Amino acid sequence: MLETLKKALKVKEIRKRLLYTFLMLIVVRLGSQIPIPFVNGDAIKDIMSNFSNENFSFFTAITGGSMEKMSVFALSITPYITASIIVQLLTIAIPKLDELQKDGEEGRKKLAEVTRYLTVALAKGRLAELAMELFISIGMDCSEMKEKTRKLIFTDEKNKMKFILVKASDVPTYVEYGAADIGIVGKDTLLEESRNLYEMIDLGFGKCKMAVCGPKELKGKLGTMTNLRVASKYPHIAMKYFQDDKGQTIEIIKLNGSVELAPLVGLSDVIVDIVETGKTLYENGLDVLEDVCPLSARFVVNKVSMKMETERIMNIVKQFEERIAK
């Protein structure tokens, strides 16, 4: 190991990079010890110890004590925490905020609404447009999203909501890892991704179905076929349907587009894909052979966000359910 290190240090580029890394570590550690001018460190510690939100201790841990000491390096990385501290300080000057702080759990939830935005991940395209209309119907301001723009993040300041546009297959990932509190995404994506999150309600739009499709002459014969080759953009859904549900051995061929072409050129026997009107299938001489499952847009929630923002999230769920029922 020492011999390898000696050889590495003989390379000028490696020496420069190691030196730069060590210098940055020194700068970071120094910066985490220098307090922000005119800030009372003792007062900040008292606020953090009295404030129940566990985010303070979490951020203090990951910043090496920068948060607790309110060092200069704690300024730009924690805007939410900074906002929380400001609100806590304002309780001294604003009686209403002081009342909320003393009002137990309910009061702290209302204080959190002042400092924290709920982030909603929307699947780009038609689902985002339909979801936006649903949010507008319950009083959210989505006017910024209606403008022609390349922006991917939109904010509703009044309702403390933030909307982000992402690729449909990425919505569950954003929600599971906490980059978004809420997601609006198709059931097909949820089934394929199998992420660890809460699926709250069926929103009732974006309805279609997942189906096994292929030449008409194969209808009613799939169960008797061995070594069936199946092409799909949804390999996990296809595998579960054939092997787990039907007990049939298949070969999966993963494709990313123009799946209908696969059986036409002999790449596969059948395909598993989303069917809405069936027009593309019929124009290419294919037909729906078996239905796999119905699909529609779903409202999903991050598990931690559900615990921390239960009231706000359930309020949205309730309003959506009322709108859907009409």
pLDDT tens for 54-79 read 555 555 555 555 656 666 665 544 55
Cut 0.85: pTM above it: no
Regarding predicted confidence, which is higher, 32 or 195?
195
Higher pLDDT, 251 or 83: 251
Q: What are the chain's domains?
A: 32-114 (no CATH), 117-206+297-325 (3.40.190.10), 208-294 (3.40.190.10)
CA angle 117, 123, 125 (to 5 degrees): 125
- The residues, ordered by sequence, that sit 6+ positions from 74 with a Cβ below 8 Å of its Cβ are 32, 36, 63, 66, 67
pLDDT band at 309 (very low <50, low <70, confident <90, very high): confident
Rounded to the nearest integer, the mean pLDDT of the chain is 81
In this predicted structure, the answer to whether residue 249 has a pLDDT above a threshold of 90 is no
Q: What is the pLDDT, as a whole number, of residue 8?
A: 64
- Residue 146, pLDDT score: 75
Least confident of 134-148, 240-254, 312-326: 134-148
Written as one letter, the residue type at 123 is A
- Residue holding tokens 């953090």? 48
- pLDDT for residue 319 is more than 70: yes
Q: Which residue has the tokens 């909320």?
A: 100
**Residue 313: both structure tokens together:** 């999230």
User: What's residue 83's pLDDT?
Assistant: 59
The token pair at 315 is 């309020």
pLDDT tens sequence across 194-208: 899 999 999 999 899
| 3-state SS record for the chain | CHHHHHHHHCCHHHHHHHHHHHHHHHHHHHHCCCECCCCCHHHHHHHHHHCCCCHHHHHHHHCCCHHHHCEHHHCCCCHHHHHHHHHHHHCCCCHHHHHHHCCHHHHHHHHHHHHCCEEEEEECCHHHHHHHHHHHHCCCCCHHHHCCCCCCEEEECCCCEEEEEECHHHHHHHHHCCCCCEEEEEHHHHHHHCCCCEEEEECCCCCEEEEEEEEHHHCCCHHHCCCEEEEECCHHHHHHHHHHHCCCCEEEEECCCCCCHHHHCCCCCEEEEEECCCHHHHHCCEEEEEEEEEECEEEEECHHHHHHCHHHHHHHHHHHHHHHHC
CB environment 212-227: b (16+ within 10 A), e (fewer):
bbbeeebeeebeeeee
Alpha carbons 80 and 7: distance in angstroms, whole number: 46
pLDDT at 301: 96
- Across 150-175, average pLDDT: 89
What's the length of the chain? 326
Give percent of the chain above pLDDT 90: 38
